[in-house]
Amino acid sequence: MTERLYYSDCYLREFDARVTETADDGLRVYLDRTGFYPTSGGQPFDLGTLGGVPVTEIIDEEDRIAHVLAAPLIGETVHGAIDWDRRYDLMQQHTGQHLLSAVLEELFGFKTVSVHMGTGANTVDIATSSVTEAQLATAEERCFEIIGQTRPTAITFEDAAAGLRKESTRSGTLRIVSIEGVDRSACGGTHVRSTSEIGLVLTGKSEKIRGITRIEFVCGNRALRRARADNQLLVSIARTLSLPAEQAPERILALTEQNKTLEKERLRLATEQARREGAELYWKTVPDANGLRRVIERGTIDEGVRNKAQAFTANEQAVFLAISDDPPSLLLAASQDSGVHAGNVLKAALTEAGGRGGGNATLAQGSVPDAAALEKVVALLEQRT
Ligand SMILES: [Zn+2]
C-alpha cells in the first residue's frame, strides 16, 4: 500500500520515502509513500525525479503506485522531487474544471459526463446536444466572478458524503474536494487552495460528439499564454492583409470567393487552350497511307491532355495515345470512324501486361504496375491502333 501524500497536501513538491519493491531491473519502483500523482480521473501523471533519476510515468495500481524511471534506481531510501511547473499548471486546470463544470450545471443544468486534462487543451464533455457561444461567454464570466471572490477549496474525507455534484460510484470513505459554496465533488486529483489561483477559465471550441458536447478550455497561466498567442495570430493575420484585425474575416471570405471565380475561369481557359492545341495538332499531323492520323505523347496525364486528346479525335480518322511514366499509365482516344475501339483495345493490352483500366469506344484510360509493363502495353497498342 502506497501512502498518497498528495491526498492531503497538494502543494508538497519534495518528499523522502523508503523503497518497498523494485521490478523491471530497477526501472519500476514502489515506495511506502509518494507525492507523485498517477494518471487518474482525467489528470495526467506527474514528472520529476526520484533519487535524481527522471520519472517517465506514474501508474495507479489501486493499492500501490508504480514509479517508472528512465534508469535503474539504487538505494533503500529516496528523495522525490516533483516537476512543479507541470504539476501546478495541472492543478490550475483541474480546479478550473471543477469550477467550469459547477457553473455550467448551475447556469444551464448541463451535467458533466467526463473530463480530460492534458498539456494542450483540456476538454469537458457535457450532457447536452448543443451549447451556444453566448452560454460559454456567460459561463466564463460567472467563473471569473467566483475566481475574484477568492473562495477557498478544501479536501475532506467523508463516509456519507451528501450534496455532491455527481454521485460517486465508489463506496466507503470518499475524498471530497469542495469549492466553498460552489461545488462538492468526489475526486482524487490535485487542486489549488483558492479559486484566485485558477486565475482565468477560458473556453475554446465546442463540438457535438454522439449526443454530447465537448468543450475545450484552459485555465491559469496557460489561459494567459493562449490569449496572448491568439492575439499574436490576429495581429499577424491583420498585418498580412494590411487591414485592421476586425476586418480580416470579411476580407478572407471575399478572397476565398474571388479565388473560386478565378479558378473556374482558369479551368475554362485551360480547357479552351487544350482543345485548340488538339485541333491544331490534328491539322499538323500527316495522315498515314490509310488516311489515319496518329499521335503519341509522353508526359503527365491530366485534364489538359484529356481535352487535347478529345479535341484531336473529334476529327476524322484520328488516334491519340498519351503515356505517363510516373505513375505508369495510359490514355487512348480514337475517333468514331478510326476502326479502333479505344476501350476494348486498351483493356485487352492492359490485361496482357498485368494492368487495369478501360473506357468507351472513343476514350479509355488505365494503369500498369511498372515501367516494363508500360512498354509492353505501348508496343501492343502500336501494333493494334
Ligand atoms: Zn478534481
Which CATH number goes with the domain that contains 288?
A: 3.10.310.40
Query: How far apart, in whole angstroms, are the C-alpha atoms of residue 165 and residue 124?
Result: 15
The verdict on residue 236 lying in a domain is: yes
Comparing CA positions, the residue from 6, 35, 40 lying closest to residue 170 is 40
% the chain with pLDDT above 90: 94
Asked if residue 192 and residue 95 are part of one domain, the reply reads: yes
* Domain count along the chain: 3
pLDDT above 90: residue 75: no
Asked if residue 221 and residue 115 are part of one domain, the reply reads: yes
Asked if residue 135 and residue 196 are part of one domain, the reply reads: yes
Q: What is the pLDDT of residue 49?
A: 97
Query: How far apart, in whole angstroms, are the C-alpha atoms of residue 157 and residue 173?
Result: 6
CA–centroid distance, residue 187 to ligand 1 (Å): 5
Asked if residue 209 and residue 128 are part of one domain, the reply reads: yes
CA–centroid distance, residue 94 to ligand 1 (Å): 6
Asked if residue 167 and residue 114 are part of one domain, the reply reads: yes
282-303: b or e for each residue (b if 16 or more CB lie within 10 Å)?
A: beebeeeeeebbbbebeeebee
CA–centroid distance, residue 119 to ligand 1 (Å): 16
pTM of the model: 0.76
Q: What is the pLDDT of residue 229?
A: 96
Q: What is the pLDDT of residue 74?
A: 84
* Domain end (from 49, 82, 115): 82
Asked if residue 95 and residue 152 are part of one domain, the reply reads: yes
The verdict on residue 247 lying in a domain is: no
The verdict on residue 261 lying in a domain is: no
Comparing CA positions, the residue from 156, 164, 150 lying closest to residue 101 is 164
Asked if residue 99 and residue 71 are part of one domain, the reply reads: no
Q: What is the pLDDT of residue 345?
A: 96
SS3 of 196, please? Answer: helix
* 313 DSSP 8-state letter: T
pLDDT tier, 168 (very low <50, low <70, confident <90, very high otherwise): confident
User: Could you list the residue range(s) of the whole structural domain that residue 276 is in?
Assistant: 270-384
The verdict on residue 245 lying in a domain is: no
pLDDT digits (tens, 9 = 90+) for 187-220: 999 999 999 999 999 999 999 999 999 999 999 9
Residue with cell 495500481: 61
By the CB criterion, residues less than 5 angstroms from ion ligand 1 are 94, 187, 189
The verdict on residue 259 lying in a domain is: no
Q: What is the pLDDT of residue 82?
A: 98
Q: What is the pLDDT of residue 50?
A: 97
* Domain end (from 202, 222, 240): 240
Asked if residue 355 and residue 335 are part of one domain, the reply reads: yes
Please report how many Cα atoms fall inside a 13 Å half-sphere around the Cα of residue 123, on the Cβ side.
14
pLDDT digits (tens, 9 = 90+) for 243-301: 999 999 999 999 999 999 999 999 999 999 999 999 999 999 999 999 999 999 999 99
pLDDT digits (tens, 9 = 90+) for 118-167: 988 899 999 999 999 999 999 999 999 999 999 999 999 999 888 999 88
CA–centroid distance, residue 115 to ligand 1 (Å): 10
Asked if residue 222 and residue 279 are part of one domain, the reply reads: no
* Domain end (from 224, 240, 256): 240
Q: What is the pLDDT of residue 60?
A: 96
Phi-psi map region of 201: left, alpha, beta (phi>0 left; psi -120 to 50 alpha)? beta
pLDDT above 90: residue 311: yes
pLDDT above 90: residue 41: no
Asked if residue 339 and residue 288 are part of one domain, the reply reads: yes
